[in-house]
Structures are given as structure tokens and as C-alpha cells.
Amino acid sequence: MKKETLTPKELGLMLLSLIAVIVVLTIAFSDPDAKLTQLLLMVDMIICLIFLTNFFYDLIRSDDRWHYVRTHWIDLVASIPAIETLRYARIFQVLRVFRLIRMSRSVLIPLLKQRQQTTLTGLMLAMVTIITLSAVLILIVEDKAPGANIDSAEAAMWWALVTMSTVGYGDYYPVTSEGRLIGAIVILCGVSFFGVVAGFLASLFVSQDTQDTQDENLPRLNQLEREHKLLIQEIQALRRELRQAPRQDSDSS
């Protein structure tokens, strides 16, 4: 039986589906009017946009689009926002990728071979995770604190985005010690995140320049290889002539 290959993107989407399932379950057992529920709905909307973008991107690139729709329709259904019942279809996404993991020989080999896709998927997961956790935690800590200005889902999400990007507008800020600790951790994570992004972009340009240089030097390398083979053939022919020379001298004597 042929082993299916698990790509880094599929593994990343599976982990994102797990996050989405946790978010949906938390929403289901929370007060619909609670601020935390509104925040989780915003997070779920972001995740849905990621799923929809991935679905239509793969659909456009697919050779047989009808076959892709028939085999991935559950991905489209699970990515529709604002319909709570359909969100539980993401569990089937997780089960499908678990099946791929079981059938695949190794998970690490594709991750190591496809480093660019692995890096992009890791950055996406890191961004969603950092923003979600920081927004949820800061809203829990700051919501009812005296003098707090982070008292809504929109404010918590905006603060998380601004703090992670290390812009720091100062329109929303934590007033509690716990909130400031969370802010410090988010700032450190944001600096590390954008450092990785900058390094990844630099590696793309360097690898492209290296590839262009190799393409430019390829004809010259092929010519040198042919000249090298001809030189080896001439040396071998010269050796054969030198070996035959003493025999001709002995025969003539």
C-alpha cells in the first residue's frame, strides 16, 4: 500500500483545527453575552478566514477542481463563519489529518524537506496562538480591574495586535501587575516572531540570488566538465602509448 505524504501545511492546518475546536467548545459552554465569548467569536472569524483562503487557494491551483471540491467539501463547510453548527465539522478535518499521520511513514521527514512551507506554517500558527492567548488572558485579567481601559473584546484584540507588533500606540494598556507581565511576554514573543520573519525573508532573497548565480554559471560548469572529460581521455591515451613504446623498441632490436 502506497504511503501518503503529510505536508507541513496539512499538519499546520490540523493544529489550527484543534485550536478552532477548542475555541468552539469554549463558546458553546460560555455565556453568549460575555465579553470573553465575543472575543472568541472574533478569533474564530480569523481562523475561518484562514481556512477559506487556503481552500480557494488550493482550489485555484488544482488540476481537477471538481474532484478537489468533492474530496475537500468538508473543509469548505467547516470554514463558514457565523454558523455554529457547521463549526463542529472541523473535528472531521482533525480526524482526516490524523489518518494521514498514521499512514505516513514519518512526520519529521516532510517537515525537514519542505523547510519554507514548514516555516510559513509555523509562523501562521505562532501568530494565531500568540494573539489568541494574549487577548484572552489580558481580557480576563483587566476586565474588572479599577481604572482598566481594556474592557471589551475589540480592545483586547487591538491591544494584542499592537503589542505583538511592538508598535505600542498607548491607547490601550494594562493597569494590573498581571496584565503588565502578560504584556512583557507578548512583546518578547513579538520581537522574536518578527525576527524570524525577517530572517526568513532574507533567506528567500539569498536563496534566489544563489539560484540565479548557479543558473548563470551552469553553462560554464558544463563546459568545464566536458573539457575535464576530454583531458582525462587524452591522459589515458597517452598512457597507453607510453606502455606500448617499450614493446615496439624491443621488437625492432
> pLDDT value at position 181?
94
Q: How far apart are CA 163 and CA 183, in angstroms?
A: 7
Residue with cell 463549526: 87
Q: How far apart are CA 79 and CA 92, in angstroms?
A: 12
By C-alpha distance, which of 93, 182, 200, 83 is closest to 141? Answer: 182
> 8-209 architecture in CATH?
Orthogonal Bundle (1.10)
Q: How far apart are CA 29 and CA 39, in angstroms?
A: 14
Where along the chain do its domains lie?
A: 8-209
Residues in CB range of 143: below 8 A, 6 or more apart: 35, 150, 151
By C-alpha distance, which of 5, 4, 26, 6 is closest to 15? Answer: 6
Is-above-0.75 flag for pTM? no
Radius of gyration of the chain (CA): 30
By C-alpha distance, which of 30, 47, 19 is closest to 140? Answer: 30
Residues of the chain with pLDDT under 70: 1-6, 82-90, 92-113, 207-218, 245-253
By C-alpha distance, which of 20, 122, 140, 19 is closest to 81? Answer: 20
> pLDDT value at position 180?
92
C-alpha cell at 135: 487577548
C-alpha cell at 11: 499538519
